[in-house]
Amino acid sequence: MGLKSSPDSLPPHMTSAKIVVAGGFGVGKTTLVGSVSEIPPVNTEAWMTQAAKSVDPETGATGKATTTVAMDFGRITLAEDLVLYLFGTPGQARFWPMWDDLSRGASAAVVLVDTRRLDTSFAAVNYFENDSDVPFIVAVNLFDGEQTHRLAEVRDALQLTAEVPLVACDARDRGSAVATLTAALTHTMRRTSVGTTPGVLATR
Amino acid sequence: MKGNPWVRPYVLTSGRTTTRHRLFMHTLVSVPDFDPAFADRLPPEARSLYERAGTTAESVAELSAHCGVSLGVTRVLIGDMAARGRMIINPDTYSSPYDERLLRRVIHGLKEFA
Amino acid sequence: MRRILIVGAGQAGLQLALSLLAEGYAVTVMSARTPEEIRAGRIMSTQCMFGPSLQIERERGLNLWEEQAPKIVAQRLTLADPPGTAAFGFVGRWDAYAQSVDQRVKMAGWLELFESRGGEVVYHGVMTSDLEGLSAMYDLTIIAAGKGDLVELFDRDDARSPYDRPQRALSCVYLHGDTLMPEYPEPHVRITAFPGVGELIFMPGYTNTGPCGILLWEAVPGGPLDCWDDKPSPEEHRDRTLDLMRSYAPWEYERWVDSEPTDGRCTLYGGYAPVVRRPVGRLSASSHVLGMADVVVANDPVTGQGSNNAARSADVYFRSILERGEKPFDPEWMQRTFDAYWDFAQHVCAYTNMMLGPLPEHVQGILATAAHNPAVAYRFAKGYTDPSDFRHWLMDPEKAEAFLASVADQSTAAP
């Protein structure tokens, strides 16, 4: 049987990697994804919904309407056979099943924080510290391009352990965003090369 | 049987699909040999996914978003079509997402890209 | 071949899935996590399964850990009042043993068993938005994932839900290295009640690393045992547990002083309001899903009924699906299926909700009597294995009095 290959289809050995970008609402996740993605960040509102009560006007029966919550992802083709995906997490803690799904199989995670509202990223830090095996770093997004807090203060406020790298970045700037992503991958390499097996739990 | 003419691939595979563990959001899916006649027979959602993956290899998340098919339904349909040999779930080239060769390639690629 | 979708891979979801698969149904399970992730993940429950629940599993060939897991033969209740002092206690022995297999072990194993028997598993955390599309592909969709947002598909049944907030703050830990209680060395459940403050519940369990001890603090909110908001690490949990035991139950402290956490994810914190929900989730005029187990009936774990209810509801639903044959799984059938389960579950709810509040005087009297009357202790312990029996005595002051009178001659106390 002759192999028929369409010129458009990529070779089947094409593979993909993923980095998760987490953090609270409005900390700049979409900006970071957008500044490195080769496609406009895909907004997946349509399939991220939650139940909300509604009443059918005709029957008076209670049904479940849907309201949406945004999530986005971007894509970078790194080589003919390698694609990198960046996935932003939904902000609300109620979507934690989604967080597991997003994190599963990821090579690294970046928790983005905004020093003006650090509290919005507590849940994300907590998640990667306690409930996920994916190695993560924390990146302080400098909205005005200036560092208003010393990183040590941020580390204290977030109660980060010494082994979690903390970096500053400008999510709008491609070079800075790329540096943040590579810092996360480098951290994964360090974390997973020293005698640990991927997937084995880090004990606290 | 009511409504849905879709024959589940149980009949073909006794329920065993080979998709376990690999249908991550970022897992790439492609169509090895696009068959327009097969596409014509599919219900709208499956058809839309099949046609899109027939154009270019895309991730599960992209297929779901671009076709407007919920992620859960997308995963079921991809699993079904893969079980029938109509789609290919691209195998992981690397042993794990923490494979040092993969990490080095991604870092290198990102630096080139910046 | 009827196609059934089960969303959720816990006790109820997988028990039903495996049961239906054996009857030739085409069953798809949607699990948010893979077996490996479940095994390596956080503990989920205390899951003490009593004799009747274990029997359901045996009948379906699902008792994979029967030999490894400690066989729990009895239940001891101690009333610590004032704290630190055992006012009285008694042991009730069961007709059949109970077992507690860590759900990380059990659900991972059952998922693999389901797949190896030809069941289809889709690894996907189902969102409400998936359901209309999914349910159109199956003859019946059952929601058995009680911890996510899917429960909001099912309206709260106010008449059956007396509480609107958690009645206990919960804190659970799995430990290795506890020692036997010299006066009762056989594996048993120990409930220590601190009136107005909470309870400490212990049971022998079986986890990834072998036999272990499972401890659950049930803290009255705002009270001195409600001290887990900081979600301490396993070692910190053990240390805090020892401190609390030293002042509240020193006889327990002796058992645990050399214990170690079983693993890095052997703690669980939280609390939820007991709730009963309406069982039929309406997605559209023509599309409905059926809720099962703790999705529709969630009790506080103070009476250890959660996994037993899951097993019972899965069993009732299983029979109802079989009886339905080829007829449609319409909303009326869904409601009837739930009603059949509620016939049993209502007694569990009534008993559990009563135990969360200040104990009625006649119940205090029953417990004090049990301390010197083995017939009362026996029936009290038996009630945990089948709470529907409580309606015949403990739930009703007059019937309780009649029962106590009927067994008064078995009292060991001096007249």
Is the pLDDT score of A166 beyond 90? yes
Side-chain half-sphere exposure of A22, counting CA atoms within 13 A: 33
Identify the pLDDT of residue A202.
32
Residues of A with Cβ-Cβ distance to C149 under 8 angstroms: 50-51, 94-95
Cis omega (within 30 of 0) for bond into C82: yes
Residues of C with Cβ-Cβ distance to A96 under 8 angstroms: 148
Cα–Cα distance measured from residue A26 to residue A113, given in angstroms and rounded to the nearest whole number: 9
B3 is a domain residue: no
Q: Which superfamily does CATH assign the domain made up of A15-43+71-193 to?
A: P-loop containing nucleotide triphosphate hydrolases (3.40.50.300)
Partner residue opposite B45 with nearest CB, options C121, C122, C133: C133
| Tens-digit pLDDT profile for residues B62-107 | 999 889 888 899 999 999 999 899 999 988 788 899 999 999 999 9
Residues of C with Cβ-Cβ distance to A94 under 8 angstroms: 149
Please say whether the beta carbons of A158 and A184 come within 8 A.
no
Please say whether the beta carbons of B93 and A15 come within 8 A.
yes
ipTM of the complex: 0.83
Is the pLDDT score of A203 beyond 80? no
CB contact under 8 A, A203 and C124: no
Structural domain boundaries in chain C = 3-65+101-163+273-356, 71-98+166-270, 361-413
Under 8 Å CB-to-CB from C45, ≥6 apart: which residues? C103, C172, C268, C301, C306, C307
Identify the pLDDT of residue A43.
61
CATH architecture of the domain with range C71-98+166-270: 2-Layer Sandwich (3.30)
Residues of A with Cβ-Cβ distance to C130 under 8 angstroms: 47
The pLDDT confidence band at residue C201, using thresholds 50, 70 and 90, is very high
User: What does the pLDDT average to over C17-43?
Assistant: 94
The total number of structural domains in chain B stands at 1
Partner residue opposite C122 with nearest CB, options B6, B10, B79: B79
User: Which chains does B contact via 3+ CB–CB distances below 8 A?
Assistant: A, C
Please say whether the beta carbons of C134 and C126 come within 8 A.
yes
Percent of chain C clearing pLDDT 70 (strictly above): 100
Structural domain boundaries in chain A = 15-43+71-193
B72 is a domain residue: yes
Residues of A with Cβ-Cβ distance to C128 under 8 angstroms: 49-51, 64, 66
| Tens-digit pLDDT profile for residues C325-359 | 999 999 999 999 999 999 999 999 999 999 999 99
B1 is a domain residue: no
Q: Is C276 on the interface with B (CB under 8 A)?
A: no
Bridging pattern class, strands A15-22 and A108-113? parallel
Identify the pLDDT of residue C338.
98
Size of the A and B interface in Cβ pairs below 8 Å: 145
The residue segments making up the domain with residue B77 are: 9-113
The pLDDT confidence band at residue A4, using thresholds 50, 70 and 90, is very low
The pLDDT confidence band at residue C413, using thresholds 50, 70 and 90, is confident
Identify the pLDDT of residue C47.
97
| Tens-digit pLDDT profile for residues A38-70 | 887 776 543 343 333 343 334 444 444 333 344
pTM (predicted TM-score):
0.87
CB contact under 8 A, C136 and B75: no
CATH of C3-65+101-163+273-356, one of 3.50.50.60, 3.30.70.100, 2.20.25.90, 3.40.50.2300: 3.50.50.60
Tell me whether domains C3-65+101-163+273-356 and C71-98+166-270 share a fold. Answer: no
CB contact under 8 A, C120 and B71: no
Is the pLDDT score of C227 beyond 70? yes
User: What does the pLDDT average to over C193-217?
Assistant: 97
The pLDDT confidence band at residue B49, using thresholds 50, 70 and 90, is very high
B2 is a domain residue: no
Cα–Cα distance measured from residue C187 to residue C45, given in angstroms and rounded to the nearest whole number: 19
User: What does the pLDDT average to over B13-41?
Assistant: 78
| Tens-digit pLDDT profile for residues C123-162 | 988 888 889 899 999 999 999 997 778 999 999 999 999 9
Is the pLDDT score of B6 beyond 80? no
Closest residue by Cα to residue C127 from A44, B59, A48, B67: A48
B89 is a domain residue: yes
Shortest CA gap A200–chain C (Å): 8
List, as one string, the DSSP characters of chain A.
------TTSPPTT-EEEEEEEE-STTSSHHHHHHHH-SSPPEE-GGG-EEEEEEE-TTT--EEEEEEE---EEEEEEEETTEEEEEEEPPS-GGGHHHHHHHHTT-SEEEEEE-GGGGGGGHHHHHHHHHT--S-EEEEEE-TTSS--S-HHHHHHHHT--TTS-EEEE-TT-HHHHHHHHHHHHHHHHHHHHSS--TTPPPP-
Identify the pLDDT of residue C212.
98
Is the pLDDT score of C393 beyond 70? yes
Cα–Cα distance measured from residue C64 to residue C109, given in angstroms and rounded to the nearest whole number: 8
| Tens-digit pLDDT profile for residues C362-375 | 999 999 999 999 99
A201 to chain C: nearest residue by CA?
Answer: C40
Is the pLDDT score of C12 beyond 60? yes
